Structure 1
Amino acid sequence: MPIVREFTLPDLGEGLTGAEVVRWLVEVGDVIAVDQPVVEVETAKAMVEVPCPYGGVVTARYGEVGEERAVGQPLVTVAVSPEPGTDVPGLGGAAENERPLVGFGVAEGGKGSRRRRVGVGVGGGSAPVVTQPAPVVEPLPVRTAIAVISPLVRKLAREHGVDLTAVAGSGPDGLIMRADVQRAIQPVATPAPATVSADAEVVPLRGLRRTVAEKLTRSHHEIPAVTVWVDADATELLAVRAQMNQAPDAPKVSLLALFARICVAALARHPELNSSVDLDANGTPVALRRHTAVHLGFAAQSERGLVVPVVRDAQQLTTEQLGAELGRLTASARAGSLTPAELTGGTFTLNNYGVFGVDGSTPILNHPEAAMLGVGRITAKPWVHEGELAVRQVTQLSFTFDHRVCDGGTAGGFLRFVADCVERPGMLLRQL
């Protein structure tokens, strides 16, 4: 007799408690392999394909597209053979069918025929089991490869009924980008608002947006944050960067990488700012947790909105290595392929809002971190340089900190050191 196994949404790590169903990768009646992805979900951190640990026949699915599933709630049930060679009603034995259950043998055709449909009966209150005798098992037809990487692009196409096989990609090697799908959407359909109440559109907070809202609300209510700021002459920093990038075969060093290097040096001088506050069960602060490693988060714009990827152990990386890791994580953010681990665990955040053409900001801290450095746009301004008025490249630096971890003197010392490194980048040599 077959055994019906229930596969529940697993703990996806990093404190995540649930996920939203984005796309089902299997249907009832499909034969699946061990560890074959069965559903694509969106967590508060990333898009994830969830593999099932059982091989056999899918007998039921739980959760519609757009529905939230909590960790521990069922996703699918699978009829599996109790041991190799054992008959499963509706499939017969391995010898009879010559197509053993995937997971207990090798299916014909390799990967291309992993997903196959067979007839199944769906029961009432209990988990359904396979009941129909000896159906014909056929592989699905081979599908045309689609040049698209981002799951967000695929999701956008699904929501608007766009056939990706008919879309010409504008990216490298014909890669289909979000803009390509958006151009195809216009003649197809105009999406309706989620909910309309009187004269207002009500959009449910889900996935990343809901998590961001909850985190920012908690940060605002829990952390007594203070922001200080200073203008700095970045002319010399730009000159140093130009010198670094003169090497013809070396990777280019970005301004973000230089500011990341400055942050690491400043935190070495002021380690109390690389910390978080421990609370007791009543929410009362009881201890300061000072982190020995600098896990540097940085704000990056993605198709899912603003995300904060984390560079692990930034204090161990050279400026060039910092630049490479920042570039890798930024590319993953734009592609929508950041993992939950790459989006959590930060101890300090660098926020370059100058890319939006603004000078300053008073951001909310990325809970439970205690500090964030903000960098405004670098623009030409009149500046007194060596006793004379001159046109210099000036930026505004802002520093937001948790007043529970330090006083204003420490925060001011941190920001002044950062500004000094921007104006006289040779100071960084003392920290290398």
Structure 2
Amino acid sequence: MAIQKSTPAVDGVHAFKLPDVGEGLIEAELLTWYVKPGDEVKDGQMICEIETAKAVVELPCPYSGTVKELFAAEGETVEVGTVIITVDDGTGGSGGGTAEADTGAETEEREKPLVGYGEKAASTQRRPRRRPAATAPTPAAPAPRAAPAPTPEPAAPAAPVRSEGRPLAKPPVRKLAKDLGIDLATVSPTGKDGIITRDDVHAAVEAVRAPETAPAVETPVETDRSAREQRIPIKGVRKHTAAAMVNSAFTAPHVTEFLQVDVTRTMKAVARLRERPDFADVKVSPLLLVAKALLMAIRRHPGINASWDEENQEIVVKNYVNLGIAAATERGLVVPNIKDAESKTLPELAASLKRLTETARAGKTGPADMSGGTITITNVGVFGVDAGTPIINPGEAAILAFGQIRDMPWVHKGELKIRKVTTLSLSFDHRLVDGELGSKVLRDIGTALEDPELTALAWG
């Protein structure tokens, strides 16, 4: 993963800005630093892990040298184009150029994204320095902070913030305030040049907790309610998922159909497949045969594997299947997909499912694995749920929900018996798929699961 070295060194200090990772996004959350100030790094060495709205990505450093300073704390959301680290290559002088590296020269730059989407123009301007007032304030109206001496003007230290108007604080102090629920805008700074220190944050906490003189009958204060609530920032994968689901729900007219299926023979087929040598290194589950049944149904009814082109007013039927599998992770729901799933053998499909789920659970699914999906399966049965009305993944025509498999009374060959039964739910975009097509697809999936071996022989 190469990064364009577009920022010139100042006194041997290179400033590395958060790059565009090729998704057209404007920000990312910095999850983990792999380095600290004073560490030696090499060109191409992974230095941190970030989470965008779609995936978790490791960033390599484009410079070799010594880490001088980190400009973002773990858990902080950083805008693309913001300096996150400076590296001293050992060729400069006193290191007084850190501020210049942080703010950049007042010139236009061309920044290349990490992958895909070509170049993006970015204008980086130097933050104006504060100048002393033209006339000194009168004693009756003292200035809240002393203006810096006009001369001599020393090299500015690395700026702890990146936008005018925000309270001045270094990343560790910002993280401390965030963890303690303190708004830095309400904290009185005592540090040099008006910088908020850790002691200032702790003092603000004590001020909030200190008992206040109050009338006999007190009304609950906000701090009492916050002690009984948990506030979770909406960012990263969860933010992207929320926006995508709202867009899908209010753009595509959803229709959902349900079908109960006797999958006793499917469960027997799963048990037999697990004993075969070509499935020894993969996990064979009912989901594998559900995926195969869906692929067979798509081959018979390709209109279910389509998308709506609003701009050209066309329905685009795909001759390939990028099969999405919804996966619940610690960071939210992701839908990676198996490229060209229709061309894979059953063992290949099983191996692809294994890689997909393991990567998703490890939080390492890349943007390319989550783009280009054509149809999706969501396995709600793993949560002990029978059925639901799944929301279609944006850009697709349908999504299949696979419920839990239960022992239920079922009429089999004219007699009431206990059989393995599941419920399938198919949601589809009614602009693309009418009731007849949706019903045929769902019925074919059910038929394939009722007798998978016979279906495979009959349908090829």
TM-score by length of 1: 0.70
Q: Secondary structure at the match of 1:406?
A: coil
Amino acid at match of 2:431: R
**Root-mean-square deviation (CA), in Å?**
2.9
Match of 2:329 in 1: 302
Q: Determine the C-alpha separation between the residues in 2 that align with 1:199 and 1:250.
A: 50
- Aligned counterpart, 2:142: none
Q: What is the count of residue pairs matched by the alignment? A: 332
Distance 2:289 2:430 in 1: 27
In structure 2, give the amino acid aligned to 1:211: H
The structure 2 residue matched to 1:217, chosen from 246, 251, 267, is: 246
CA distance in 2: counterparts of 1:123 and 1:229, whole angstroms: 62
Give the superposition deviation at 1:355. 1.2
Paired residue for 2:289, among 253, 258, 262? 258
Deviating more after overlay: 384-393 vs 9-18: 9-18
Is 1:46–2:55 an aligned residue pair? yes
Deviation of the 1:19 alpha carbon: 1.1
- Counting only pairs closer than 5 Å after superposition, residues 70-219 of structure 1 correspond to structure 2 as 70-80=79-89, 87-89=91-93, 120-121=95-96, 123-124=98-99, 127=102, 197=226, 200-219=229-248
SS at match of 1:412: helix
Contact 1:195–1:203, Cα closer than 8 Å, also in 2:
no
Equivalent pair of 2:403/2:422 in contact (CA under 8 Å): yes
Contact kept in structure 2, 1:122 and 1:128, CA below 8 Å: no
Structure 1 residues 63 and 287, CA, compared in 2 at 3 Å: closer, same or farther?
Answer: farther
1:396 aligns with 2:423: yes
1:340-419 paired onto structure 2 within 5 Å: 340-419=367-446
Equivalent position amino acid for 1:297 in 2: G
- Give the Cα separation in 2 of the matches to 1:224 and 1:12: 33
* 1:427 equivalent in structure 2: 455
The residue type equivalent to 1:315 in the other structure is: E
Which residue of 2 is the match for residue 233 of structure 1?
A: 262
Distance in 1, matches of 2:83 and 2:17, equals 4
Q: CA deviation at 1:404?
A: 1.0
**d(CA) in 2 for partners of 1:369, 1:89:** 57
Q: How far does residue 392 in structure 1 lie from its aligned partner after superposition?
A: 1.6
Question: How far, CA to CA, are the matches of 2:86 and 2:436 in structure 1?
Answer: 60
Quote the Cα distance in structure 2 between the aligned partners of 1:31 and 1:68. 25
The one-character-per-residue Cα deviations of 1:117-156 (angstroms, maximum 9, x if unpaired) are xxx4465566499xxxxxxxxxxxxxxxxxxxxxxxxxxx
1:58 deviation in Å? 3.8
On the 8 A contact 2:289/2:449 being kept in 1, the answer is: no
C-alpha contact 2:321 2:341 (8 A) present in aligned 1? yes
Q: Which moved more, 1:66-75 or 1:53-62?
A: 53-62
Whether the 8 Å CA contact 2:402–2:425 is kept in 1: the answer is yes
Report the CA distance between 1:17 and its aligned residue.
Answer: 3.6
User: Which of the numbers 282, 305, 309 marks the counterpart of 1:274?
Assistant: 305
Q: Decide whether aligned partners of structure 1 residues 12 and 365 sit closer, same or farther in structure 2, where only a CA change above 3 A counts.
A: same
Match for residue 315 of structure 1?
Answer: 342
2-side partners of 1:276 and 1:4: how far apart? 49
Residue of structure 1 equivalent to 2:139: none
By how many angstroms is 1:205 displaced? 0.5
* Counterparts of 1:215 and 1:329, CA distance in 2: 21
1:184-207: CA deviation from partner (whole Å, max 9, x where unpaired): xxxxxxxxxx99658643322011
- Given that 2:238 and 2:333 are in contact with CA atoms closer than 8 Å, whether structure 1 keeps it comes out as no
Counterpart Cα distance in 1 of 2:259 and 2:291: 18
1-side partners of 2:272 and 2:380: how far apart? 25
User: Whole-Å Cα distance in 2 between the matches of residues 79 and 246 of structure 1?
Assistant: 58
* Local SS of the residue matching 2:313: strand
Shift of 1:89: 2.9
What is the CA distance between 1:26 and its match in structure 2? 3.0
CA contact (8 A) 2:13 2:98 kept: no
Specify the SS of the correspondent of 1:7: strand
Contact map agreement 1:14 1:344 (CA 8 A) in 2: no
Structure 1: gaps spanning 5 or more residues:
82-86, 91-119, 130-158, 160-193
Give how far 1:59 is off.
Answer: 4.2
Q: Is the Cα–Cα contact under 8 Å of residues 31 and 75 in structure 2 kept in the other structure?
A: yes
Checking the alignment, whether the CA contact within 8 Å between 1:47 and 1:337 is kept in structure 2 is yes
Deviation at 1:215, TM superposition (A): 1.1
Shift of 1:272: 1.7
Task: Extract unaligned runs of 5+ from structure 2.
Answer: 1-9, 105-178, 180-222
Identity of aligned residues (%): 41
Partners in 2 of 1:39 and 1:243 — Cα distance?
45
Could you give the per-residue CA deviations for residues 79-108 of structure 1, whole angstroms, max 9, x where no partner exists?
447xxxxx4336xxxxxxxxxxxxxxxxxx
Structure 1 letter corresponding to 2:245: L
Query: 1:391/1:25 Cα in 2 relative to 1: closer, same or farther (>3 Å)?
Result: closer
CA distance in 2 between counterparts of 1:328 and 1:368 reads: 24
After TM superposition, the structure 1 stretch with the greater mean CA deviation from structure 2, 238-247 or 120-129, is 120-129
> Which deviations, in whole Å up to 9, do the C-alpha atoms of 1:184-235 show, x marking residues without a partner?
xxxxxxxxxx996586433220111111111111111111111001111111
What amino acid is aligned across from residue 368 of structure 1 in structure 2? G
Query: Cα distance 1:322–1:125, how it changes in 2: closer, same or farther (>3 A)?
Result: same
Separation in 2, partners of 1:388, 1:200: 54
CA contact (8 A) 1:11 1:17 kept: yes
